[in-house]
Chains A and B, each alone.
Chain A
Amino acid sequence: MSKMRYSRRNILKGGAAAVAASAFPAPMIWAQDIKNVVLRQAGTGVSAFNEVAAKVKEDLGFTLEMTALDSDAVTQRAATQPDSYDIADIEYWICKKVWPTGNLQAMDISKITNYDKIAGTFRDGKLTPDSVIAQGTAPHTVGFVEGPGSTTFSTQDSGWMTLIPTIYNADTLGIRPDLIGRPIESWAELLNPEFKGKASILDISSIGIMDMAMVCEAMGEIQYADKGNMTTDEIDKTIGIFMEAKKAGQFRAFWKSFDESVNLMASGEVVIQSMWSPAITAVKAQGVPCVYQPLKEGYRSWGGGIGLSAGLSGLPLDAAYEYINWYLSGWVGGFLMRQGYYSAVPETSKLFMSEDEWGFWYEGKAATGDIVSPGGTVIEQAGAVRDGGSFLDRMGKVACWNSVMDENQYMVRKWNEFVAA
């Protein structure tokens, strides 16, 4: 019997990669056994790419089965059916909801090779030493627990992580610069009567309410103590303002799925709306100008990570750690960065991106050649600069994180009234 050969070694190139590989403590796993391991990953669609599963098979030898569900369904599954998944690929606010059920197990950071290289946002909440921590469910507040088996979140790095961060981004409004024809600088523009019948917001309550809050605060109508955890009074006021706007005909439509937001924007039905980064790319790929507009109040940010089911042990658990270490080793990071997301370990992703790609997506530099999407279409030509600039510019201006409120049930009922009104 021969020990498993890490094909990652063949793929990683250069000295830095060799260092990373030799620092990696190879566990005693027999190649034959690990090939039979099947890890079932349930998660939100953002990071469920078939390319990733195929690469896992190629690099690590075992099988990764991915199920993509919407946020609500993932939350439900993680909370109620712990036996139906091995790996939960969820957002941090979902983690806050799910962790108390005890269905996920804490991860030992000493087994995570690239732990030190994970962006500060996920460790102490500070991207740079002088960053201010944003409102909402900031990832580091639910990123650690006291120890194995603990259900209380730790305020600092305890050595036991809830989720290993994988993917995150800063969201803002998408606009059609050609149809607006003037600079847009504030979230308040979403309710500007100038765009009556040409605005849209997403119909996913937990995220939509945050966009609403950004708008209400920018308009100076409401001052929130914490946008990520509103009082019932604040919820009433926020929804009230939007209900009035809806009745006055401000909104052309609401959208729930990615493709709806793309259609609304590309057809010109809507000129300003809540949007996600890959949707902007999709609109641009159709040759329609679209900008992911940076706004002075900052971004609404979100982060996702992978967690381990409490039932995972033995060989599959070792395989899961293998998978996590592989995830942070760069290939996936590069893949996600080309979609406009950020990788939790930017340094390693750099090894898998061309200098021009790295400059464009991460450093905010002008592209020197064509920028190609993972699907192969040219989305930016030489000279283009990413909306919002560099990683530090964008992630440094986060105003609030996606979150789950104490008054969640109340908010959801109000949201339904808003949609039906």
Chain B
Amino acid sequence: MRRANLNSWLLAAPLTGVLVMFLILPILLIVAVSFWTADAFTFRPDFQFDNYRYLFGSAVAWKVFGLTFMMAGIVWAVTLVIGFTIAFFLAFHVRTQKWQMALFLLTTIPFWTSNIIRMISWIPLLGKNGLVNQTLMGAGIIDEPLQWLLYSSFSVCLAFVHLYTLFMVVPIFNTMMRIDKSLIEAARDGGASGFQILTNVIIPLSKPGIMIGSIFVIALVMSDFVTTRFMSGSQLANVGRLISNDIGLLQYPSAAATAVVLLISVLLTIGAMLRLVDIRKEL
């Protein structure tokens, strides 16, 4: 008995060690540094709240946090609709497993290129002289190229959706595959319409997948800074960019304070979502 107990401790130890070393300690360090002071070149241990006072007192910071939440909300809603539709199609309309896997792999295409290449490749599509504008102008729908297609909040959202829809598809597809097909047959036999089957059977049973996907998407969008910078042509700022600007200017304590606030707000968001669905119970 004791031996088994020791064994399970030993088995858990490596992972615990790794998590403490590389997750818990760094986060504690960030929290500690957020109370330090900094001048032009150096920062030194201290315990004061200036970094937080500046952050909460700055209109720009509020605006940037607002924008970050708004982006996360929009991208979440769009990826949810698209991701759910794709997963639904893959799980219930594609008959053979071979085709399911082949089509599933296709959804990973956006990850085959690097960020820089992606950023450049949007220009010929969405730019002033890009394909979209030329097509619209050729069809006589618009007279002047649409400016807001590129380097705008639209293009940032588009890039996020393009990138992160996969993170919705995977978990939703996974839970849908596990739905017992006989439940759907039973619903149909009971006289339910297709829409009723969707809302009363499939959506409730897919909830855990939807929740996991939502957590991925929200956490990724809120922590991003590269996509926002490239796709807005540096004209929009989200929280990630505030942090990276601070780091570039050697203001580590202020960057740490922003990071702590971001971490807490992401945790709160995810905590609230988990209150709605108990993932563990549903799995």
A residues adjacent to B (C-beta < 8 A): 70, 72-73, 75-76, 79-80, 97, 101, 197, 200, 203, 246, 249, 251-256, 259, 263-264, 267-269, 408-409, 412, 416-417, 419-421
In the complex, chain A residues whose CB is within 8 Å of the CB of B48: none
Residue ID in chain A nearest B246 by CB atoms: A416
**A365 → B minimal CB distance (Å):** 36
Contact A416 B242, beta carbon cutoff 8 Å: yes
Given contacts A267-B129, A268-B129, contact A419 B237 (CB under 8 A): yes
Contact A409 B40, beta carbon cutoff 8 Å: yes
The answer, yes or no, to whether B123 is at the interface (CB within 8 Å) is yes
**A266 → B minimal CB distance (Å):** 9
In the complex, chain A residues whose CB is within 8 Å of the CB of B235: 246, 251, 253-254, 419
Contact B60 A420, beta carbon cutoff 8 Å: yes
Residue ID in chain B nearest A414 by CB atoms: B60
Option from B60, B120, B147 in Cβ contact (under 8 Å) with A417: B60
Contact B233 A416, beta carbon cutoff 8 Å: no
Complex CA distance for A417 and B241, rounded to whole angstroms = 12
Contact B60 A72, beta carbon cutoff 8 Å: no
Report whether over half of chain B's contact residues are helix, strand or loop; otherwise say mixed: loop
Residue ID in chain B nearest A197 by CB atoms: B147
**A409 → B minimal CB distance (Å):** 7
Contact A267 B41, beta carbon cutoff 8 Å: no
Contact B250 A249, beta carbon cutoff 8 Å: no
Contact A254 B234, beta carbon cutoff 8 Å: yes
Identify which of residues 118-176 in chain B touch chain A, using a CB-to-CB cut-off of 8 Å.
Answer: 120, 123-124, 127-129, 147, 150-151
In the complex, chain B residues whose CB is within 8 Å of the CB of A72: 248-250
Contact B250 A76, beta carbon cutoff 8 Å: yes
- Extra pairs beyond A75-B41, A267-B123 (7, CB < 8 Å): A72-B248, A80-B42, A97-B41, A252-B151, A255-B234, A256-B229, A416-B237
Contact B64 A420, beta carbon cutoff 8 Å: yes
Option from A101, A253, A254 in Cβ contact (under 8 Å) with B41: A101
Complex CA distance for A256 and B120, rounded to whole angstroms = 14
Complex CA distance for A203 and B248, rounded to whole angstroms = 12
The answer, yes or no, to whether B188 is at the interface (CB within 8 Å) is no
Contact A420 B129, beta carbon cutoff 8 Å: no
Contact A268 B249, beta carbon cutoff 8 Å: no
In the complex, chain B residues whose CB is within 8 Å of the CB of A412: 249
Contact A256 B234, beta carbon cutoff 8 Å: yes
Complex CA distance for A283 and B236, rounded to whole angstroms = 26
**A400 → B minimal CB distance (Å):** 22
In the complex, chain A residues whose CB is within 8 Å of the CB of B41: 75-76, 79-80, 97, 101
**B255 → A minimal CB distance (Å):** 12
Residue ID in chain A nearest B39 by CB atoms: A409
In the complex, chain B residues whose CB is within 8 Å of the CB of A79: 41
**B21 → A minimal CB distance (Å):** 24
**B153 → A minimal CB distance (Å):** 13
In the complex, chain A residues whose CB is within 8 Å of the CB of B242: 416, 420
Contact A249 B147, beta carbon cutoff 8 Å: yes
Contact A97 B234, beta carbon cutoff 8 Å: no
B 30-68 to A, binary, CB cutoff 8 A, 1 in contact else 0: 000000000011100000000000000000100110000
Complex CA distance for A254 and B127, rounded to whole angstroms = 15
**A416 → B minimal CB distance (Å):** 6
Contact B60 A421, beta carbon cutoff 8 Å: yes
Complex CA distance for A108 and B64, rounded to whole angstroms = 51
In the complex, chain A residues whose CB is within 8 Å of the CB of B120: 263
Option from B63, B124, B248 in Cβ contact (under 8 Å) with A420: B63
In the complex, chain A residues whose CB is within 8 Å of the CB of B123: 263, 267, 269
Complex CA distance for A316 and B162, rounded to whole angstroms = 53
**A7 → B minimal CB distance (Å):** 40
The answer, yes or no, to whether B7 is at the interface (CB within 8 Å) is no
**A410 → B minimal CB distance (Å):** 12
The answer, yes or no, to whether B269 is at the interface (CB within 8 Å) is no
The answer, yes or no, to whether B245 is at the interface (CB within 8 Å) is yes
In the complex, chain A residues whose CB is within 8 Å of the CB of B229: 256
In the complex, chain B residues whose CB is within 8 Å of the CB of A70: 248
Contact B128 A269, beta carbon cutoff 8 Å: yes
Residue ID in chain A nearest B233 by CB atoms: A253
Residue ID in chain A nearest B38 by CB atoms: A409
Residue ID in chain B nearest A251 by CB atoms: B235
B 242-276 to A, binary, CB cutoff 8 A, 1 in contact else 0: 10010011100000000000000000000000000
In the complex, chain A residues whose CB is within 8 Å of the CB of B232: 253
Complex CA distance for A77 and B25, rounded to whole angstroms = 25
**A414 → B minimal CB distance (Å):** 10
Given contacts A253-B233, A269-B127, contact A97 B40 (CB under 8 A): yes
Contact A253 B237, beta carbon cutoff 8 Å: no
In the complex, chain A residues whose CB is within 8 Å of the CB of B60: 416-417, 420-421
**A286 → B minimal CB distance (Å):** 13
Complex CA distance for A123 and B43, rounded to whole angstroms = 36
In the complex, chain A residues whose CB is within 8 Å of the CB of B124: 267
Contact B150 A269, beta carbon cutoff 8 Å: yes
Complex CA distance for A415 and B202, rounded to whole angstroms = 50
In the complex, chain A residues whose CB is within 8 Å of the CB of B249: 72, 412
**A138 → B minimal CB distance (Å):** 22
Identify which of residues 186-206 in chain B touch chain A, using a CB-to-CB cut-off of 8 Å.
Answer: none
Contact A267 B127, beta carbon cutoff 8 Å: yes
Residue ID in chain A nearest B147 by CB atoms: A197
